[in-house]
Amino acid sequence: MRMVDLIEKKRDGKELSKSEIDFIISGYTEGRIPDYQMSALAMAIFFQDMTREERTHLTMAMVESGDQIDLSAIEGIKVDKHSTGGVGDTTTLVLAPLVAALGIPVAKMSGRGLGHTGGTIDKLEAVPGFHVEIDNQKFNELVNTNKVAVVGQSGNLTPADKKLYALRDVTATVNSIPLIASSIMSKKIASGADAIVLDVKTGSGAFMKDLEHARELAQAMVDIGNNVGRKTMAVISDMSQPLGFAVGNALEVQEAIDTLRGKGPKDLEELCLTLGSHMVYLGGKADSPETARTQLEEAIRNGNALEKFKTFLSAQGGDPSVVDDPSKLPQAKYTFEVKAGEEGHVASIQADRIGTAAMLLGAGRATKESVIDLAVGVVLRKKIGDSVKKGEPLVTIYSNREDVAEVKEMIEDAYRIVPEAVEGPPLIYDEIR
Ligand code: URA
Ligand code: CA
C-alpha cells in the first residue's frame, strides 16, 4: 500500500477500506507517514466526507492506536456523558453525584479547560483539598463503594487523535464532521464506557453554530457508538448563551450545589434532568427516560443527590463542609457590576465573549501553561428574553484585580438589548438515537 494512492482515492471521492484506514492511522501514529501526506488526506476528507463504515473504521483505528481503559473491575453498566463544550457548562458537577445517587456507576475521566471553555477538574479543584491524582485501583474502589469518582486523563489514550487533532488545527481541517465525530468518539470508547450520552451544543458559544450541523454531528457520533456496540444517544442543547448564571470555577461549584439542592438556575436543572434521565435509562436502572426523570427529581428533593456530592468530595480529599458553607470556597476580592446602558429586552448574549471575559479575569487558560484563579469569574443577572431597565446590572464580575475595564467592555459588547419583547431560546432542540 502507498499513502499517495490512498490520498488520490479519497480525493476522487472513493471509499477507503478498513485495512487501508488501519494502514494510514498506524503509519501516521508511528511516524512512517509524514504530516504533509496526512494533511492532504485530512483535506480530502474535509471535501469528500466519509461513509458510516469509514467513520467507524477511523474511530476504531484511533482507539487501537494507544491504551484502552479497562473498567471491568467496576460493577454495573458504566455510562459516560460527553459535552461538545460550552461556556459555564456546569452539568458534569451536578450530574456525577445526581446519577450516582441512583446507583449508576459514574467513572469519570475529565480534562482541564483551555481557552473559553472550562474543565471539570479545574472546577472541582476549587473545593479545598480536592484532588484527582488517584491510581486505577483506588479509582475502581471509589466507584464501587460510592458510585462516583473523577480522575484526570492519564496513560497513552488515542495518540493518533492527539497527533491528528494538532495537525488539523493548523491545516484548516478541524471543522469536518467525520473528523470531529471520530476524534470525540475514539476518546470516549478508549475511556471504557459501556454507554454514552452526548450533549451536542449549538449556538454562538458552541463548535456547531447552527442546528443543522449540530444534528449532523450528533447523528455521526451516535452511529459510530452504536456501530461498535456502545449504546449511544445525543441531546442537542442550546449554547446561544451561557448555561445557568455562573461562569468561573468556584462560582460554578456554588451553582452546582444550588442545583443539587433544587434551587439552581432552571436551564441548568432542566438540562441535567434530561441528560441524567438518559444516563439512568441506558444504565438499566429505569424502564424509560421518563421514570428515570422522576427518580432524579426525587433524589434532589430528598437530599440524596446533595449527600452524594459531599461523599464524593470527601472521598477525594475535598472539604465537604463547603456544601453548607460556600464561603469556604475561594472568594474574589472585588465585585463590579456591568450595567445596562439602555432599557429594553435582552435579545442575545454572545456566549464565547462571556467565556473570554471570564478567561481574562483568570478563570480560564490562555495557554496550556497558564495558572488559573479559581475564585474569579462572572455571574449573569440577565439572560435572553429578560427585560432590563437602564442602569440595572447585567452581569456581576468577581475579580482579584481592580482594573477590569477590558472585561467590562467585552461583556457590554456581548449583550444586545432591543426595544421589543424577545422570547428566550429553547433549551433542548432534539434527541438523536
Ligand atoms: N473536540 C475533539 O475532541 N475533537 C475534535 O475534532 C473537535 C472537538
Ligand atoms: Ca453555569
Q: Residue 20 maps to which CATH number?
A: 1.20.970.10
By alpha-carbon position, which residue is closest to atom 5 of ligand 1?
Answer: 180
**190 C-alpha to ligand 1 centroid (Å):** 15
Q: CA 218, 111, 354 angle in degrees (round to 5)?
A: 75
The reply to whether 340 and 318 lie within a common domain is no
Residues 319, 342 within the same domain? no
Helices (H), 73-135: 91-100, 120-124
Find the radius of gyration of the CA atoms of the chain: 22
Three cell numbers written together for 391: 442602569
Query: Considering the domain boundaries, does residue 62 fall inside one?
Result: no
CA of 383 to the centre of ligand 2 (A): 12
* 122 plus 228 within the same structural domain: yes
Over residues 12-49, the pLDDT tens digits come to: 999 999 999 999 999 999 999 999 999 999 999 999 99
Instruction: Return the best residue to mutate from 158, 183, 209 for the ligand 1 pocket (most ligand atoms within 8 A of CB).
Output: 183
User: 89 alpha carbon to ligand 2 midpoint, in Å?
Assistant: 5
Instruction: Answer yes or no: do 163 and 306 share one domain.
Output: yes
Ligand 1: which atom is nearest the Cα of residue 187? 3
Residue 173 lies in a domain: yes
The residue whose CA is least distant from atom 7 of ligand 1 is 180
List Cβ neighbours of 270 (8 Å cut-off, separation of 6 or more): 427, 428
Atom of ligand 1 nearest to the CA of 207: 8
Indicate whether 428 belongs to any domain.
no
Q: Count up the domains in the chain and report the number.
A: 3
Reduced to 3 states, what is the DSSP secondary structure of residue 335?
strand
Q: Which residues form the catalytic set?
A: 82, 161, 168, 183, 187
- C-alpha 53 – ligand 1 centre gap (Å): 20
Locate the ligand 1 atom nearest the alpha carbon of residue 183 and give its number: 4
Specify whether the CB–CB gap between 86 and 206 falls below 8 A.
Answer: yes
Residue 323 has which C-alpha cell?
Answer: 456544601
**Nearest CA residue ID for atom 8, ligand 1:** 180
Ligand nearest to the CA of 161: 1
The CATH number given to whatever domain includes residue 122 is: 3.40.1030.10
Q: Does 132 share its domain with 186?
A: yes
Please indicate, yes or no, if residue 198 is contained in any of the structural domains.
Answer: yes
- Tell me, yes or no, whether 243 and 97 share the same domain: yes
184 CA: nearest ligand 1 atom: 3
- Nearest atom in ligand 1 to 179's CA: 6
Last residue of some domain: 324, 348, 374?
324
Counting ligands in written order, the one closest to the CA of 90 is 2
Considering the domain boundaries, does residue 429 fall inside one? no
Residues 84 and 233 in one domain: yes
CA of residue 238 to ligand 2 center, whole Å:
13
CATH number of the domain to which 407 belongs: 3.90.1170.30
Are residues 232 and 351 located together in one domain of the fold? no
Name residue, grid cell 482507539: 63
Q: Which residues of the chain have pLDDT under 70?
A: 115-117
Which residue intervals of 64-158 are DSSP H helices?
91-100, 120-124, 136-146
Q: Do 359 and 313 share a structural domain?
A: no
Q: Are residues 307 and 364 in the same domain?
A: no
Contacts of residue 413, defined as CB under 8 A and 6 or more positions apart, other chains included, come to 350, 353
Which residue owns the Cα nearest ligand 1 atom 2? 184
Q: How many Å lie between the centroid of ligand 2 and the Cα of residue 95?
A: 13
Query: Is residue 179, in this structure, part of any structural domain at all?
Result: yes
Q: Do the beta carbons of residue 257 and residue 306 sit within 8 Å?
A: yes
Q: Which ligand is nearest to the CA of 265?
A: 2
Residues with CB under 6 A from ligand 1: 165, 174, 179-180, 183-184
> Same domain, yes or no, for 291 and 384?
no
Q: How far apart, in whole angstroms, are the C-alpha atoms of residue 343 and residue 392?
A: 9
For residue 64, tell me if it sits in a domain.
Answer: no
User: What DSSP state is assigned to residue 370?
Assistant: P
How far CA 65 is from CA of 31, 41, 71, 190, in Å, comes to 12, 18, 19, 10
- ipTM at complex level: 0.94
For residue 183, the CA-to-ligand 1 centroid distance in Å is 5
Residue 71 lies in a domain: no
Please name which ligand lies nearest the alpha carbon of 351. Answer: 2
End residue of a domain, out of 324, 346, 377? 324
What is residue 316's predicted lDDT score, i.e. its pLDDT? Answer: 98
Rounded Cα distance between 14 and 8, Å, is 9
CB 384 within 8 A of CB 267: no
Q: Which of 295, 324, 353 delimits the end of a domain? A: 324
List the domain range (segments joined by +) for residue 126. Answer: 79-324
Cell of residue 111, nine digits? 480534562
Q: Whose CA is nearest to atom 1 of ligand 1?
A: 184
Of 89, 184, 191, 221, which is best to mutate to test ligand 1, by the most ligand atoms within 8 angstroms of its C-beta?
A: 184
Beta strands in 256-333 (DSSP E): none
Q: Are residues 104 and 9 located together in one domain of the fold?
A: no
